[in-house]
Amino acid sequence: MKRLYPDVTCYENGFIEVGNGHSLYFEQSGNPDGIPVLFIHGGPGAGLPPNYKCFFDSNKFRIIGYEQRGCGRSTPIADTLNNDTWLNVEDIEALRTHLHVPKLLLFGGSWGSTLALLYALKYTAHVTGLILRGVFLARQEDRDWFLSPSGCAAQLFPEHYRRFIKDVPTPVTSKAVCDFYSAMVRSSNDVLRHAALKRWYQWEERLSRLSLPPGVGDSTTHYPMHLVTCLATLECHFLSNKCFLEENYILENISKISHIPGTIIHGRYDMICKTEAAETLHKAWSQSQLQIIPDAGHSTSEPSIGYALCRATRDMSRFIQESSK
């Protein structure tokens, strides 16, 4: 299948109050009587990408998208107060209940894969299956891969990493990077704060795709400041706090979803999330299938990743329909 599905407009959108002053934006598209699938975006802080509905056959799926705490159209924007991993998991359950959905197919990429796995581990009875892209298990080694000077990203992109860690006190470690940026994103000096936010965002942007268009990801690129602020602030917040998870929590509890079908799609040259994480998850999860995409990195904007995700939703829809007979 060498195409994406046509984009569609949503038939419903709105907000759901989830407590502590947080209000989440959500929307529904496709077939109201179709298979409910929840798109869980990455980041933390990325918000819904504009083409996320193109991975689903709108005739077969009831496509639900939402923006996590502090992201996109959710309010308050880029807020770290009362914003942790488990509260985000509870938000998924609150949205499921609000929309009167008995069971969800979870579709999560990067940080979205983390939340999808955690929701499935806690609310197993409400999950029909998982489609995961760019797996992030939130272990120390996963954070080091992205932030540490010994990580693969820093080793392969030394000139970009050098700019990223500019002014970080030595010795440079993942913790030192997080501590520095945590202070910078809270700085009262607008110039320092905006420069730090942009450097964090540029680092991720440079790593996200195997090949970037000319000029994208360099110091001259202009990015929407609200997106830069959300992504950099919330990623730094979660990574600084070890994603609010015990070390190796997902793998140590994966047996709870051993009966649930899952598809794992991971770019071989993913510089943000380790390919090893996808392989390790697959080995521990008996009902999973793993597809390592040979000519891709991390982003869904890479054609081979997009096509693989479309095949995965098509195959999963057939499996769910046959299982319900």
Residue with tokens 């985000």: 88
* Annotated active-site residue in 29, 110, 208, 299: 110
Whether residue 194 lies in the annotated active site: no
Stated length of the chain: 325
Whether residue 91 lies in the annotated active site: no
Whether residue 74 lies in the annotated active site: no
* Annotated active-site residue in 144, 270, 299, 317: 270
Residue among 217, 237, 239, 231 at smallest CA distance from 157? 217
Note every long-range contact of 150-159, with CB atoms under 8 Å and residues 24 or more positions apart, other chains counting.
Answer: 152/271, 152/274, 153/207, 153/271, 153/272, 156/271, 157/206, 157/207, 157/271
* Annotated active-site residue in 298, 299, 304, 317: 298
User: What positions carry a catalytic annotation?
Assistant: 110, 270, 298
